[in-house]
């Protein structure tokens, strides 16, 4: 008898094995990465989602805290084909329900055919299909999570001292590797809450405003968008992932929800200026539809969605993918050099 159940929006109920007990609900998404499960599970961009791993074995090199991208696991639940005891025990200690013995490749196919969908999960000795369906019925849409930034952002400013350009990093759910990529280049990084005000930023007298990645609908990050609107033309501005979407919205652009997003470590991106294609790490369910006053400089090879935006006039540089990787290829780490050159007033080649 199974001791875990997944209730899908399709009406299907999938039986599974409980590895960490509990009940959960969220948007069912996947990653195709075959390494980097520690980084993915601690990526704040997965907040309020249920993460499915398409790779069949998760946990084959243990759990190491030095690889974490934040202080906790962010998906509300985890689904795998097979999960090692190390990962299961970690998730159990975090209070995150986890299940395996699921044909995750079939599940990923369902997501690709029907789009990201809501799911309810019931796992453990008292698990039942009815509880899973009840979780599904009470699951909100991602766009309804209007204050999700509060769940992933720092509550108070944090300062990482450096001798270089001063960066005001708006934490909408920033991965730790973004901070590390900046501090490794001697940047003086001030991490501010997602709802920071223009006065908060001005008090730092920064050289660049940087909007981080984060979960959910960019339309719900109104404070960050207001900062971009306020400082456009006054400060250089950079953004990653959700940050690109927020910047685009502030410059008259629009965003839209994708069917199932880009999630993995092998997304090909074409740079219009150089003709070069690089492999990138991505994790997002929304994309820029119209770029507004910005220029599209890079696109996804698979679907032509914008991957890079810039404005020489306003000193703006953004990327939809994760240049810091972790996990994934390091083809685009030079983005951080370009941002810091922008902050120092030098010419940037996007």
CB under 8 Å to 66, separation ≥6 — which residues? none
Does 163 belong to an annotated binding site? no
CB under 8 Å to 248, separation ≥6 — which residues? 254, 255, 288, 290, 291, 292, 294, 306, 309, 318
Q: How many CB atoms lie within 10 A of CB 156?
A: 7
Q: Quick one: which of 81, 60, 82, 63 has its CA closest to 73? A: 63
Q: How many CB atoms lie within 10 A of CB 101?
A: 17
Does 245 belong to an annotated binding site? yes
Does 286 belong to an annotated binding site? yes
DSSP state for residue 277 in the 8-state scheme: E
Residues in the chain: 350
Does 120 belong to an annotated binding site? no
Radius of gyration of the chain (CA): 20
Token pair 């959910």 is found at: 216
Contact between residue 159 and residue 192 where contact means Cβ atoms under 8 Å apart = no
Residues designated catalytic:
241, 322, 324
Does 214 belong to an annotated binding site? yes
Does 216 belong to an annotated binding site? yes
Torsion of CA 105, 107, 109, 111, to 10 degrees: -140
Does 70 belong to an annotated binding site? no
Q: Quick one: which of 227, 217, 284 has its CA closest to 251? A: 227
Does 267 belong to an annotated binding site? no
Which residues make up each annotated binding site for L-glutamine?
45, 214, 216, 242, 245, 283, 285-286
Which residues make up each annotated binding site?
45, 214, 216, 242, 245, 283, 285-286
């Amino acid at each position: 008898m199974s001791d875990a159940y997944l209730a899908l929006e399709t009406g299907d109920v999938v039986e599974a094995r409980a590895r960490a007990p509990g009940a959960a609900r969220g948007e069912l998404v996947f990653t195709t990465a075959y390494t980097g499960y520690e980084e993915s599970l601690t990526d704040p961009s997965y907040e309020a989602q249920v993460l499915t791993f398409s790779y069949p074995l998760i946990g084959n090199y243990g759990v190491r805290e030095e690889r974490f991208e934040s202080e906790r696991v962010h998906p509300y639940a985890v689904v795998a084909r097979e999960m090692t005891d190390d990962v299961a025990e970690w998730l159990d200690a975090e209070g995150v329900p986890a299940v395996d013995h699921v044909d995750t490749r079939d599940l990923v196919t369902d997501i690709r055919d029907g789009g990201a969908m809501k799911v309810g999960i019931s796992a453990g000795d008292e698990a039942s299909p009815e509880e899973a369906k009840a979780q599904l019925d009470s699951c909100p849409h991602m766009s309804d999570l209007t204050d999700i930034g509060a769940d992933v952002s720092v509550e108070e400013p944090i300062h990482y001292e450096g001798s270089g350009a001063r960066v005001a990093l708006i934490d909408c759910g920033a991965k730790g590797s973004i901070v590390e990529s900046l501090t490794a280049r001697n940047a003086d990084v001030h991490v501010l809450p997602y709802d920071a005000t223009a006065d908060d930023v001005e008090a730092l007298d920064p050289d660049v405003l940087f909007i981080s990645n984060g979960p959910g609908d960019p339309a719900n990050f109104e404070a960050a968008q207001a900062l971009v609107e306020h400082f456009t033309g006054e400060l250089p501005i950079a953004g990653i992932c959700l940050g690109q979407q927020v910047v685009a919205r502030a410059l008259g652009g629009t965003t839209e929800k994708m069917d199932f997003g880009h999630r993995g470590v092998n997304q090909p991106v074409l740079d219009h200026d150089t003709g070069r294609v690089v492999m990138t790490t991505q994790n997002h369910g929304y994309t820029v539809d119209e770029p507004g006053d910005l220029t599209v400089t890079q696109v996804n090879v698979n679907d032509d969605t914008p991957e890079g935006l810039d404005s020489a006039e306003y000193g703006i540089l953004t990327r939809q993918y994760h240049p810091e990787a972790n996990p994934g290829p390091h083809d685009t780490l030079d983005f951080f050099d370009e941002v810091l050159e922008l902050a120092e007033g030098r010419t940037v080649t996007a």
